[in-house]
Structure 1
Amino acid sequence: MASETSLLVTLATVHAIALASPGPDFALVVQNAARYGRRTGFYIAFGLSIGILLHSLFSLTGVSLLIQQHPMWFVVIKLAGGSYLLWLGISALGYVLAHRGEKRAMAKVEVTKGLESPLAAFSRGFMTNILNPKALVFFVSLFSSLVPADLSFEGKLGALFILWSLAFAWFAILAQLLTSKRLQSKLQSAALTLDGICGVVFVLVGGGILWSTLMNAMG
């Protein structure tokens, strides 16, 4: 029991460090919570956490390892994930270019029409995480290196709960902080700049995934 507790603490620590590292998930929460508000940020956080829960479940059951070891399946996942992230980036940069000369108030009114639906916010969070091939590789590595095959059923449930709850708590807290009254006004005044920065992150990550996948396929 003590060894399982130690294992879960180690798993939680590694996962927490990974969550705090800047990436597509982090950029998505920053971009959308700052622009659309706390409610949207929470739904995006929930979508991201469900994606992480599924990655964890697939890794725990061996599904992700099977996908990673099957060249065609893994290529399809990487192409889909890279294309989705690239689309997010191009959309954000396109919005910045289209509204760079407008007043902040006008831009704010128009953009609030985008993710006002909870389902749309949840879906964007979920798709961003579940289609990220780097997340698939991370969780396969995490479970293969830290979680033994003979871990008890209770231990496996505990691992899944820890990974999901940490993810949701982190992104929800991030959305909460970003939408405090003092910070919200400052972020909204720099909304287009944030869109541009997050757009560049999505383009670089998504484009990098597509480029490496295509080069490996051609090689």
Structure 2
Amino acid sequence: MNELTILTTLAVVHFVALMSPGPDFALVVQNATRYGRQTGLYIALGLSCGILLHSLLSLTGVSYLVHQQPTLFALLQLAGGSYLFYLGYGALKGTWAKINSPTTTEQESEPTSLLLSNKRQAFSRGFATNILNPKALVFFVSLMSSLVPATMSLSGKGIALIILWSLSLLWFSFLAWALSTQRMQRKIKSLAIYIDGLCGLLFSFIGLSILWQSTTALAAQF
């Protein structure tokens, strides 16, 4: 395949993966619907920067080396699974509090200091959610090893990184924008508690499954 075909295939595969439900998708949905457009856009920027770093590490072979070290990869899974479970637990805890206090307003039930209204905090949440997800590491190792040949030119690899980053930023930014329009906000306001609950369950399930995999892998080595 020539480089144009490789880059086109890479873009299509990556975009399809971006649209599939997962921690990144859920994070944007949960926070854009609750805290608004600015928070959603900075989370999108954080996620896309995490994807850029994953892509760079995979392209240079660092992620492959990590994946080939069972103990190191299991520890990464442990950290990532714990973080995703932490996000899920927080969302479920907030949902449970609202169910038990239905008359409490959102502002009253959540202290301002805990909201993702800070740009740096929103960016960090997006970046950490992506970079600590071991499934993302495996995905990009597989994507780069199968589609990007070692003989590809340096400019071609640079364009590949730009494509992966820009597609991620555009998709998650569009998602944040679409979910934070006034019309959409009015429609989903009554569904906020269900969105939080579903996202909490998704984070918790993925986090626990990763934790189970990591503990099983570590136990098998000792």
Match of 2:186 in 1: 185
- 1:140-194 deviations in whole A, cap 9, x for unaligned? 0000000000110110110000000000000000001001111111222211111
How far residue 108 of structure 1 moved from its aligned partner, in angstroms, is: 4.4
Answering whether residue 4 of structure 2 is matched by residue 5 of structure 1, we say yes
One-letter amino acid matched to 1:152: S
Structure 1, 189-198 or 95-104: larger mean CA deviation:
95-104
- The alignment's C-alpha RMSD in Å is 1.4
Q: Calculate percent identity across the aligned residue pairs.
A: 55
Contact 2:74-2:217 at 8 Å conserved across structures:
no
Match of 2:199 in 1: 198
Q: Distance in 1 between matches of 2:194 and 2:103?
A: 11
Distance 2:103 2:41 in 1: 24
SS of the residue corresponding to residue 2 of structure 2 reads helix
| Aligned 8 A contact 1:53 1:163 in 2 | yes
Alignment of 1:154-165 (within 5 A): 154-165=155-166
* Contact 1:35/1:112 (8 A) holds in 2: no
**Partner amino acid for 1:188?**
K
Counterpart of 2:80 in structure 1 is: 81
Task: Note the C-alpha offset of 1:70.
Answer: 1.0
Aligned-pair CA distance for 1:111: 3.8
Displacement of 1:110 in angstroms is 4.4
Report the AA paired with residue 73 of structure 1.
L
Match for 2:158: what amino acid?
L
Structure 2, unaligned runs of 5 or more: none
1:213 counterpart residue number: 214
Aligned residues: 218
**Any unmatched runs of 5+ in structure 1?**
none
Query: Following the alignment from structure 1 to structure 2, what is the Cα–Cα distance between the partners of residues 147 and 25?
Result: 24
2:122 paired with 1:138:
no
> 1:16 aligns to what?
15
* CA 1:170–1:109: 2 relative to 1, 3 Å: farther
CA contact (8 A) 2:98 2:104 kept: no
TM-score of the superposition, structure 1-length normalised? 0.96
Q: Does the CA-based 8 Å contact 1:96-1:192 persist in structure 2?
A: yes
Change (3 A) 1:5 1:118: same
User: Are the counterparts in 2 of residues 52 and 130 from structure 1 also a CA contact under 8 Å?
Assistant: yes
- Displacement of 1:101 after TM fit? 3.6
Once the two structures are superposed, residues 99-154 of structure 1 have per-residue CA deviations (whole angstroms, 9 ceiling, x without a partner) of: 21434771245447211100000000000000000000000000000000011011
TM-score (norm 2): 0.94
